[in-house]
A and B are shown apart, each in its own frame.
Chain A
Amino acid sequence: MLRTIIKKEIQNNIFSFRFIIAFVLLVVIVPVTILILTDDYVRRMDEYSQRQNSVEQYLKNYAHFNRIGTILVPSQPPLPFQMLIRGLNPDDFILENVFGEFNKDSLPVMFPLVDLTFIVTILLSLIALVFSYDSICGEKEDGTLKLMLANPLSRAKLILGKIVGGMLTLFIPFFISLIIALLIIHLNPRVSWSGANWGTFGFILLGAILYVGFFYSFGVFISARHNSSSASIMTLLFAWVLMVLVIPNLSPYIASFLVPTPSQIKVGREVDRLTSEERDELGRKLSKERQQELQKLYPVLIERLSEADTKERIAKDPEYRKAYEALSKETQAAWDEANRIQSEKANTIRQDLQRREEAQTRLSIIISAISPLADFLYLSRDLSSTGIQNLIHFDRISRIWGQAFNDYERQKLAALQKQNPTEDWWNTPVDMSDRPRFIYYEEALASKIKSSLPVFAVLIIYSLIFFAFAYFSFIRYDVR
């Protein structure tokens, strides 16, 4: 009996007007978007290799250690998955935070890019609602619901059959459009996907199925709570607007209300003040103290001499020279002490800010997890290395490379100094072809999946909850 219901649902839907429209919409939009994004990926790959080449050219003639930090900057190459999903790029953060780049692309701020996540989250969820909003109350209005239940058919089987049948119908246009998209991607000779990419794609697809499943169950649930389909679609659209368009957008603001962080600018100014003005004050105070102590030991230092006279005296008087050296050593120690104390203070403030920002980000993610759109977004972005996880990972491997490069710099400089001690090796072109190179690699698929398991769990639980709600609402439904 269950199979008959499923077959009936599918046949009912396939010949309907909404199926045709959904089909046309998906089959047109998904391939067009993927086509454009693939083209854009190829172009960015070309630009990336051009940039690498120009860096190599530069390094051949002008590589010098003093300013190498602004030339050799870790950069992320275009990832093959960026043909489907665009998210955050670590390069943008470096441009803003390290270089303070004046030029900035303004268009993406106004209208964010269309990518697969966008299509799935907005289009597919709406399509799911459009297919399911009258699954129960529409049949009641048509009079076919009571006819169906006049048969020896349990309500549980009916509702299960409806949901499964409806979702299968939905997947037909979605999978067809995805297959076309995959064909477009792989027919491009410049593109090749590794096994990890296919694995990622599989898991994101699983997430999309869960996401659609949630919305379909939700639609059936609301349908089983209303007697007229027009009331049902109103409630569904109200809930959809809140879940998809409002709650995710509000979540960071709510989190900033609950876990306020001091503004970065304020902390920046405070850190600046601590490490310059306050440090200068402290340094002067400490060095004065030490000077006074030394003056007790070496009474000669109490005399104040001009610079020229001091030099004369140092040359002539070994006692004075000893005293003077002790003075400069102590002064240096005082300033070092001042630097140390102040930078500790600054670090505490900076770390405190970072901790609070992380707490706020975590809270925003938790709050937004109410919305299945946010859940799917995090899932797809983290699996495709275009999310926050990747930023953290990129930061980590950049630091590791940075350390390696610093070691290389030290060793190389020491070797060069030994060869030629008089040359200013900081500002001389050096052959750096033996340097450690920054190679970006994505996180292992296994660890990405592990970190996205909680989100998968949330989606599964959500779908199950609303399936249960739909079942319980339908049990008590008046089918006459």
Chain B
Amino acid sequence: MLSKKPAVLWTIAKKEIVANLLSYKFFIVILLTIILISTSFFILCRDYKGRLADYELIRAKPGEPIAVIAPNPLSVFAKGLEDPMTRSFEVSVTGITARSGQKSGNLLFSFFPVPDFLYVVRVVLSLVALLFGFDQISREKETGTLKLMLANQISRARILTGKWISNFLCLSVPFLLVTLLGLAILSLSPDIHFASRDLSRLTIIILVSLLYIALFLSLGILISTLTKRATSSIVILLFIWTTFVFIVPNLGTLVAGQIVNPPSVKTLNEKRQQAWTREVLLGIKEKNRSASTWQGHYKAIYSEMDKVEEDYINKSNQLVRWAKNINRISPVASFVYAVTEIAGTGIGEESQLKRAVISYKNSIFTDLASSLLDNKKKDYRAFIYRPRSLSEIFAQGAFFDTAWLVVLNIILFTISFFAFVKYDVR
């Protein structure tokens, strides 16, 4: 008796896999996965090549007070905040100016979300996983094969597990094949170079993507165990998908804006311009101008602006924290945060970069100020940025997001198990 138990599970799984392989649904899904992932890799690799060429032009020459970081090869998979992060930041006495952003004059790039790997997985593969799961139970009930299966000595747990495993294999194997093939082609291309550090992060990203796909599969199966007809489950499925993928993450940001109101960047900029021009005017109008009176003016500007900027930074950090936590109701947001942070193009990395640029400015500030008064050209030390290590990334939120995905997965599967146990199979 004991030797039969694993065999039954695998029989069910095999039956499901064969049924899937022969279905129209599977064909459409494979087509979609191949088209989307390969197109995404191709497009973003070209984009990366362009940005790398631009970087060669804007990188700081030795001695210049410019802070620029090189484009991140992992941005091909998760573009995230790569564009604002790879601007060249020129440091001067007046502050930090962000010059030469990696942008194009074609405004349509900002109209629609970037079709990177993260987008394909988050939007399309989640839908696909739901589609695989939603009619597992309800269709078998409609066609009458569910009661036939249960007429055998098979436990409901084994049926559900077998269905889950087979569908997950049908989903993940093509996905992995296409992704790894695309990755191999990318690494052969001379334009892009993945360090070993990048590859380990990429592996984690792929694993998290599999976790995400599994979660939506469990959700689909759950819906299937709660409904009697396949038609009603597709409606629920589509609306849940829309809510989780599009509505909650985007609405959460709006709601957070109700709670915390940072001043707008425009206000900040205007205050800065007014403080500067006012002090310069006062300085010019003074009768006895000297280095010390100019120092006095600078001090006035900085004491005013530092307060305003600090208030802005604090409030906007608060806003980001609130928005992230509200958005995390949807596992999709957690997935996006986890992947972008691991890839190094997320919100956490961006604020760390900003802090690094500000501390760079503070460190060369006295030199800048004195060179302005001496009117001599100086050589400033280079800006070196150390991106966060994986352990730092996980400690600062990625672990929570991944764990949330795992926990949600377990919860969904448990609920579907209990629902299936009570399911009326007639």
Given A62-B277, A64-B281, A354-B105, verify A241-B32 contact (CB < 8 Å): yes
CB–CB A67/B277 < 8 A:
yes
Is A422 an interface position by the 8 A CB rule? no
Residue pair B265, A104 in contact (C-beta under 8 Å): yes
Within 8 Å by CB of B255, from A36, A102, A109, A130, lies A36
Please judge, given known A-B contacts A21-B239, A36-B254, A67-B277, whether A230 and B265 are in contact too, CB under 8 Å: no
For the residues of A in contact with B, the DSSP-based class is helix
Contact of A264 among B105, B235, B243, B253 (CB under 8 A): B105
Given A21-B235, A47-B267, A106-B347: A71 in contact with B277 (beta carbons within 8 A): yes
Looking at B24, B234, B340, the one whose CB has the most chain A CB atoms below 10 A away is B234
Closest chain A residue, CB of each to CB of B268: A103
Contact of A102 among B46, B96, B110, B320 (CB under 8 A): B96
Residue of A nearest to B110 (CB): A88
Of B164-172, B256-264, B380-388, B411-419, the one touching chain A? B256-264
Q: Is the CB of A253 within 8 A of B98?
A: no
Choice from B101, B106, B351 contacting A256 with Cβ under 8 Å:
B106
Given A64-B281, A108-B253, A263-B54, answer yes or no on A249-B113 (Cβ-Cβ < 8 Å). Answer: yes
Residues on A with beta carbons closer than 8 Å to the beta carbon of B333: 111
Q: Is the CB of A95 within 8 A of B110?
A: no
| A398 contacts across to B, CB distance below 8 A | none
| Interface stretch of the complex, out of B155-163, B197-205, B244-252 | B244-252
> How far is A451 from B284 in the complex, measured between Cα atoms in Å?
51
Chain B residue numbers with a CB within 8 Å of A99 are 97, 269, 273
1/0 per residue, CB under 8 A from B, across A96-110: the answer is 100111111111111
User: Do A110 and B281 touch (CB < 8 A)?
Assistant: no
CB neighbours (8 Å) of A40 from chain B are 254, 257-258
Taking the complex as formed, is A365 at the interface, i.e. its CB lies under 8 A from any CB of chain B? yes
> A55-B270, A100-B98, A106-B81 given as contacts; is B104 within 8 A of A261 (CB)?
yes
How many Å lie between the Cα of A100 and that of B95 in the bound state?
11
Which residues of chain A are within 8 angstroms of B354 by Cβ–Cβ distance?
102
> Across the two chains, which residue of chain A brings its CB closest to B332?
A111
Give B254's nearest chain A residue, CB to CB.
A36
Q: B131, A234: Cβ atoms under 8 Å?
A: yes
- In the complex, A364→B267 CA distance in Å? 34
A251 to chain B: which residues have CB within 8 Å? 108, 112
Question: Are B58's CB and A110's CB within 8 A?
Answer: no
| Residues in chain B near residue A22, CB distance under 8 A | 239
Q: How far is the CB of A222 from chain B (nearest CB, A)?
A: 12
A54, A245, A256: the one contacting B271 at CB < 8 Å is A54
Write the chain B residue with the least CB distance to A354. B105
Contact of A237 among B81, B98, B131, B261 (CB under 8 A): B131
Q: Does A134 contact B (CB under 8 A)?
A: yes
Query: Does B124 make an interface contact (CB < 8 A)?
Result: yes
Q: Given A47-B267, A103-B265, A123-B242, A112 and B250 touching (CB < 8 A)?
A: yes
Cα A32 to Cα B115 with chains together (Å): 29
B266, A110: Cβ atoms under 8 Å? Answer: no
Interface-lining segment among A153-161, A265-273, A323-331, A441-449: A265-273
Instruction: Determine if B265 and A105 form an interchain contact, defined as CB atoms under 8 angstroms apart.
Output: yes
| A257 surroundings in chain B (CB, below 8 A) | 46
Q: CA separation between A248 and B115, bound complex, in Å?
A: 10
Complex Cα spacing A233 to B313, Å: 48
A134–B232 Cα distance when bound, in Å, is: 12
Contact B239 A25 (CB under 8 A): yes
Which chain A positions have C-beta within 8 A of B312?
A: 103
Complex Cα spacing A283 to B315, Å: 52
B36 surroundings in chain A (CB, below 8 A): 246
User: Nearest residue in B to A266 (C-beta to C-beta)?
Assistant: B57
Indicate if B60 sits at the interface (CB-CB under 8 A): no
Using an 8 Å CB-CB cutoff, how does the interface string of B83-107 with A read, 1 for contact, 0 for none? 1100001100001111111111111
Contact yes or no, A134 B231, CB < 8 A: yes
| Contacting pair B257 A54 (CB below 8 A) | no
Q: In the complex, are the beta carbons of B258 and A39 less than 8 A apart?
A: yes
- The answer on a CB contact under 8 Å between B281 and A427 is yes
List of A residues within 8 angstroms of B270 by Cβ: 51, 54-55, 71, 73
Min CB distance B191 to A, Å, is 15
Interface size class on chain B is: 35 or more
A264 touches B107 (CB 8 A): no
Q: Note all chain B residues with C-beta closer than 8 A to A114.
A: 246-247, 250-251, 254
**A361 to B105 Cα, complex, angstroms:** 8
Q: Which of A67, A264, A360, A427 touches B285 (beta carbons < 8 Å)?
A: A427
Q: Using CB atoms, name the residue of chain B closest to A371.
A: B112
Q: Which positions 428-458 of chain A face chain B at CB distance < 8 Å? A: 428-429
A306: interface (CB < 8 Å): no
* Cβ-defined contact, A32 with B251, below 8 A: yes
When distances are taken between beta carbons in the complex, the residues of chain B under 8 Å from A47 are 263-264, 267
Residue pair B98, A263 in contact (C-beta under 8 Å) = no
* A-chain residues with CB within 8 Å of residue B90 when the two chains form the complex: 100
Given contacts A51-B266, A71-B277, A250-B115, contact A106 B258 (CB under 8 A): no
A-side interface residues, number (CB < 8 Å): 97
Find chain A residues with CB under 8 A from B47 CB: 253
Interface residues of A in 106-163 (CB under 8 A from B): 106-114, 118, 122-123, 126, 130, 134, 138
Q: How far is the CB of B124 from chain A (nearest CB, A)?
A: 6
Which residues from chain B contact A261 at a C-beta distance below 8 Å? 104-106
Q: Which of A96, A241, A377 contacts B101 (CB 8 A)?
A: A96
Q: A40 → chain B, closest Cβ, in Å?
A: 6
Point out the residue from A71, A231, A358 that lies within 8 Å of B274, measured CB to CB. Answer: A71
Within A1-53, the residues touching B (CB, 8 Å) are 17-18, 21-22, 25, 29, 32-33, 36-37, 39-40, 43-44, 47, 50-51
| CB of A250 to closest CB in B, whole Å | 6
Contact present for A107 and B320 (CB under 8 Å): yes
- Asked if B22 CB lies within 8 Å of chain A CBs, one says no
- A113-B253, A134-B231, A361-B105 in contact; A234/B25 too (CB < 8 A)? yes
Q: How far apart are the CA atoms of A264 and B271 in the complex, in Å?
A: 29
**A388 CA / B285 CA spacing, docked (Å):** 44
CB of A238 within 8 A of CB of B265, answer no
Whether, in the assembled complex, B378 has its beta carbon less than 8 Å from a beta carbon of chain A, the answer is no
B325 within 8 A of A: no
Q: Is A229 an interface residue (CB 8 A)?
A: yes
Chain B's closest residue to A267 (CB) is B105
Q: Mark B115-141, 1 if CB is under 8 A from A, else 0.
A: 100010001100100010001000100
Residue in B54, B81, B95, B280 whose CB lies within 8 Å of A109: B81
Write the nearest CB–CB distance from B230 to chain A, whole angstroms.
6
- B contact residues around A391 at 8 Å (CB): 107
Contact assessment for A357 and B108 in the assembled complex, using a CB-CB cutoff below 8 Å: no
Flag if B99 contacts A253 (CB, 8 Å). no
A54 CA to B135 CA, complexed, in Å? 62
B144 within 8 A of A: no
**Judging by beta carbons under 8 Å apart, are A428 and B265 in contact?**
no
Closest A-chain residue to B275, C-beta based?
A58
The chain A residue sitting closest to B91, CB to CB, is A102
Inter-chain pairs besides A246-B36, A364-B108, 17 sampled, C-beta below 8 Å: A21-B239, A29-B251, A67-B277, A70-B273, A73-B270, A75-B266, A100-B97, A102-B95, A106-B81, A106-B84, A112-B113, A130-B235, A230-B25, A248-B112, A251-B108, A261-B104, A357-B106
6 closest A-B pairs by beta carbon, nearest first, are: A357-B105, A100-B97, A67-B277, A249-B115, A252-B108, A364-B108
Chain A to chain B contacts (Cβ below 8 Å), 24 pairs: A18-B232, A25-B239, A36-B251, A36-B254, A54-B270, A64-B281, A100-B90, A101-B265, A101-B268, A102-B354, A103-B268, A104-B265, A107-B347, A110-B340, A112-B250, A113-B253, A118-B246, A230-B230, A234-B131, A238-B31, A241-B123, A264-B104, A265-B102, A360-B105
